Amino acid sequence: MSDEHTVSGEKTYKVDLLTRVEGEGRFHLKVKDNQVIESKLNIFEAPRYFEAFLRDRAIEEVPDIVARICGICPVAYQMSAVRALENGLGVTPSSAIRALRRLLYCGEWIESHALHVFLLHAPDFLGYDSAMAMAVDHKDLVERGLKMKKAGNALIECLGGRAIHPISIRVGGFTTTPRASALNALRDDLANALQDAIDTVTWTAALTFPDFNQAYTFVCLDHDQYPLEWGDAIHVSGSGRFPVEEFFDHSQETHVAHSTALQSHLRDGQTYLCGPMARLNRHHERLHPTARTALAKSGLSLPVHNPYQSIVVRAVELVHALAEALDLIDAYTQPEAAFSDYSPRAATACGATEAPRGLLVHRYQMGEDGLIKHADIVPPTSQNQAQIEADLVSIAPQLMALAHNDATHLCEQLIRAYDPCISCATHFLKLNIENVNAPS
Amino acid sequence: MLTNQQLKKYSFFKPLTDERAEAIIASAKTTNIPADTEVLREGQQADNLYLVLEGRLSLAMYVPGRPPEKSIVSTISRGELLGWSALLPGRMWQATARTLKPTRLLVINGAELRALCDRDHETGYSVMKHVLAVVGQRLTESRLQLLDMFAHPDD
Amino acid sequence: MPDTPTHSPRPRLGVFKLASCDGCQLTLLDCEDELLLLGEQIDIVHFPEATSPGQPSGPFDVAIIEGSVSTPEQQDEVQAIRRNSTVLLTIGACATSGGIQALRNFGDHDDYRRIVYAQPEYISSLATSTPVANHVPVDFELRGCPINKQQLLELITACLRGRTPAIKNESVCFECKRNDIVCVAVTQQMPCLGPVTHAGCGAICPAFNRGCFGCYGPKESAATAPLAAQMLTNGQSDEAIKRAFRLFTAESEAFREESQRHE
Amino acid sequence: MVSLPPDGLSDLFAVLVQQGWRLVGPTVSNGAIIYDEIQSPDDLPTGWTDHQAPGQYTLEKRDDKRSFGYVVGPQSWKKELFLPHEVVQTSSLNNGTFHWHGANPKPAPTAFIGVRACDLSAIGIQDRVFLEDTYVDPHYQARRNATLIIAVNCTEAGALCFCDSMGTGPQAGPGYDLCLTEFDDCFLVESGSDRGEAIAAQLPATSAKPAQQAALTTAIDDCRQQMGRTLNTDGLPELLFGNLEHPQWDAVGDACLACGNCTLVCPTCFCHAIDETPDLASGPAVRERSWDSCFSEEHSHIHGWSFQPSIKDRYRQWATHKLSSWHSQFGTSGCVGCGRCIAWCPVGIDITEQVAAIQNSPAEPAPLPGFKPITWHERKDPLQAASARIQHIQQETHDVATLKLHMPDDYCDQPGQFNMLALPGIGEVPISVSGNDGKTTEHTVRNVGNVTAAITSLSVGDALGVRGPYGSAWPLDKMPGRPVTLIAGGIGLAPLRGVIRHLVSQTRDPATEWVSVIYGARDQSALLFSNELKQWSTNPAVKVAVTLDRASANWRGNVGTVTTLLQRKHQPDHGIYLMCGPEVMMAAVTRQLSTDGVPPENIYLSMERNMKCATGHCGRCQYGPHFICKDGPVFSYAQIRPLFGKPGF
What's the confidence (pLDDT) of residue A155?
98
Partners of C41 on chain D (C-beta within 8 Å) are 280
Is A279 part of any domain? yes
Helix orientation angle between A289-298 and A187-205, rounded to the nearest 10 degrees: 20
More confident residue, C54 or C17: C17
Whether D328 has a pLDDT exceeding 60, the answer reads: yes
ipTM: 0.93
What's the confidence (pLDDT) of residue A169?
97
Q: Where are the domains of chain D?
A: 2-225, 236-360, 386-470, 476-606
| Structure confidence at residue A433 as a pLDDT band (50, 70, 90) | very low
Whether C112 has a pLDDT exceeding 80, the answer reads: no
Q: CATH fold of D476-606, please?
A: Rossmann fold (3.40.50)
D341 touches chain C (CB under 8 A): no
> Rounded distance, CA A20 to CA A115, Å?
10
Half-sphere exposure of D205 (CA within 13 A, CB side): 25
Please name which of D315, D416, D337 lies closest in space to residue D167, comparing C-alpha atoms.
Answer: D337
Mean pLDDT, residues C204-225 taken together? 97
D443 within 8 A of D391, measured Cβ to Cβ: no
Please give the distance of CA D42 from its chain centroid, rounded to a whole number.
40
Mean pLDDT, residues A261-281 taken together? 80
Q: What contacts D386, CB < 8 A, 6 or more positions away? A: D98, D100, D407, D408, D411, D465, D466, D467
Mean pLDDT, residues D161-177 taken together? 95
For D100, the 3-state DSSP assignment is strand
| Structure confidence at residue A422 as a pLDDT band (50, 70, 90) | confident
Neighbours of D366 (CB within 10 A): 15
Q: What percent of chain D has pLDDT over 90?
A: 91
C48 touches chain A (CB under 8 A): yes
Q: CATH fold of C12-161, please?
A: Rossmann fold (3.40.50)
Distance in Å from the first CA to the final CA of chain A: 16
> Rounded distance, CA A190 to CA D402, Å?
56
For D589, the 3-state DSSP assignment is helix
> Any idea which of A249-263, A373-387, D125-139, D477-491 has the lowest mean pLDDT?
A249-263
What's the confidence (pLDDT) of residue A274?
94
Instruction: For residue range A334-353, list pLDDT tens digits in order.
Output: 999 999 999 999 999 999 99
Task: Tell me the torsion sign for CA atoms A410, A414, A419, A424.
Answer: negative
Residue of C nearest to D423 (CA): C163
B33 within 8 A of B105, measured Cβ to Cβ: yes
- Which superfamily does D386-470 belong to? Translation factors (2.40.30.10)
What's the confidence (pLDDT) of residue B154?
67
Mean pLDDT, residues D456-485 taken together? 95
Tell me the one-letter amino acid at D43.
Answer: D
Q: What percent of chain A has pLDDT over 90?
A: 65
A5 touches chain C (CB under 8 A): no
> Rounded distance, CA D523 to CA D514, Å?
27
For D433, the 3-state DSSP assignment is strand
What radius of gyration do chain A's Cα atoms show?
21
- Mutate: best of D51, D72, D259, partner C, most C CBs <10 A: D259
Task: Tell me the torsion sign for CA atoms B54, B56, B62, B66.
Answer: negative
Please give the distance of CA A61 from its chain centroid, rounded to a whole number.
23
Whether the predicted model's global pTM rises above the 0.90 cut: yes
Tell me the one-letter amino acid at D292.
Answer: D
Please give the residue range of the domain that contains residue A372. Answer: 10-436
With vertex at residue D535, the alpha carbon angle to CA D531 and CA D539, rounded to the nearest 5 degrees, is 165
Residues in chain D: 649
> Rounded distance, CA C56 to CA C83, Å?
13
Write out the DSSP string of B41-75. -TTSB--EEEEEEESEEEEE---TTS-GGGSEEEE
What's the confidence (pLDDT) of residue A103?
98
C219 within 8 A of C252, measured Cβ to Cβ: no
D344 within 8 A of D262, measured Cβ to Cβ: yes
Which of B80, B144, B151 faces D568 most closely, judged by CB atoms?
B80
Partners of D304 on chain B (C-beta within 8 Å) are 153-154
With vertex at residue C252, the alpha carbon angle to CA C250 and CA C253, rounded to the nearest 5 degrees, is 115
DSSP-derived secondary structure letter, D109: P
Instruction: For residue range D353-374, list pLDDT tens digits in order.
Output: 999 999 999 999 999 999 988 7
Mean pLDDT, residues D563-592 taken together? 93
> Rounded distance, CA A339 to CA A20, Å?
38
Residues of chain C numbered 51-80 and touching chain A (CB < 8 Å): 51-55, 67, 70-71, 73-74
Please give the distance of CA D140 from its chain centroid, rounded to a whole number.
15
Tell me the one-letter amino acid at B32.
Answer: N
Distance in Å from the first CA to the final CA of chain C: 38
Instruction: For residue range D390-408, list pLDDT tens digits in order.
Output: 999 999 999 999 999 999 8
More confident residue, C30 or A24: C30
List Cα–Cα distances, D360 to A398, B84, D241, in angstroms. Answer: 91, 52, 15
Tell me the one-letter amino acid at B73.
Answer: V
> Rounded distance, CA A154 to CA A97, Å?
19
Closest-CA distance, A254 to chain C, in angstroms, reads: 12
Question: Inter-chain contact D261–C220, Cβ cutoff 8 Å?
Answer: no
For A123, the 3-state DSSP assignment is helix
Partners of B141 on chain D (C-beta within 8 Å) are 560-561, 563-564
Query: What torsion, rounded to 10 degrees, do the Cα atoms B4, B10, B13, B14 define?
Result: 90
**Per-residue H/E/C for D127-141:** HHHHCCCCECCHHHH
Total domains present in chain A: 1
- Here the CATH number for the domain that contains residue A403 is 1.10.645.10
Name the strands in the sheet holding D110-115, side by side, starting at the edge strand that comes first in the sequence.
Answer: D32-37, D22-29, D110-115, D147-152, D178-182, D187-191, D2-4, D206-207
Phi-psi region of D639 (alpha: psi -120 to 50; beta: other; left: phi over 0): alpha
Partners of B51 on chain D (C-beta within 8 Å) are none
Mean pLDDT, residues A96-113 taken together? 96
Distance in Å from the first CA to the final CA of chain D: 49
D400 touches chain B (CB under 8 A): no
Q: What percent of chain C has pLDDT over 70?
A: 91
In DSSP terms, A28 is beta-bridged to A14, A40
- Mutate: best of C37, C49, C113, C182, partner A, most A CBs <10 A: C49
> Rounded distance, CA A253 to CA C42, Å?
46
Pairing of strands D558-559, D301-302: unpaired
Question: Inter-chain contact D280–C186, Cβ cutoff 8 Å?
Answer: no
Please name which of B4, B29, B42 lies closest in space to residue B108, comparing C-alpha atoms.
Answer: B29
DSSP-derived secondary structure letter, D184: S
Which of B69, B101, B141 faces D564 most closely, judged by CB atoms?
B141
> Rounded distance, CA A315 to CA A299, Å?
13
Mean pLDDT, residues D72-91 taken together? 95
Please name which of A104, A237, A94, A217 lies closest in space to residue A162, comparing C-alpha atoms.
Answer: A104
Helix orientation angle between A310-330 and A289-298, rounded to the nearest 10 degrees: 160
User: Taking CB atoms and an 8 Å cut-off, how many pairs form between chains B and D?
Assistant: 84
Residue of C nearest to A52 (CA): C112
DSSP-derived secondary structure letter, B97: E
A344 touches chain C (CB under 8 A): no
Q: Where are the domains of chain C?
A: 12-161, 172-261
D549 within 8 A of D520, measured Cβ to Cβ: yes
DSSP-derived secondary structure letter, C200: -
Which of C37, C156, C180 faces D281 most closely, judged by CB atoms?
C37
What's the confidence (pLDDT) of residue B1?
64
Mean pLDDT, residues B43-61 taken together? 94
Phi-psi region of A363 (alpha: psi -120 to 50; beta: other; left: phi over 0): beta
| Structure confidence at residue A250 as a pLDDT band (50, 70, 90) | confident
Mean pLDDT, residues A74-99 taken together? 96
What's the confidence (pLDDT) of residue C123?
63
Question: Within A161-186, where are the H helices?
Answer: 180-184
| Structure confidence at residue D584 as a pLDDT band (50, 70, 90) | very high
> Any idea which of A43-52, A157-166, B127-136 has the lowest mean pLDDT?
A43-52
Mean pLDDT, residues B137-154 taken together? 87
CATH (residue range B4-147): 2.60.120.10
The chain-wide mean pLDDT, for chain D, equals 94
For C65, the 3-state DSSP assignment is strand
| Structure confidence at residue C1 as a pLDDT band (50, 70, 90) | very low
Question: Inter-chain contact C209–A176, Cβ cutoff 8 Å?
Answer: yes
Q: What contacts D234, CB < 8 A, 6 or more positions away? A: none
> Rounded distance, CA A103 to CA A157, Å?
12
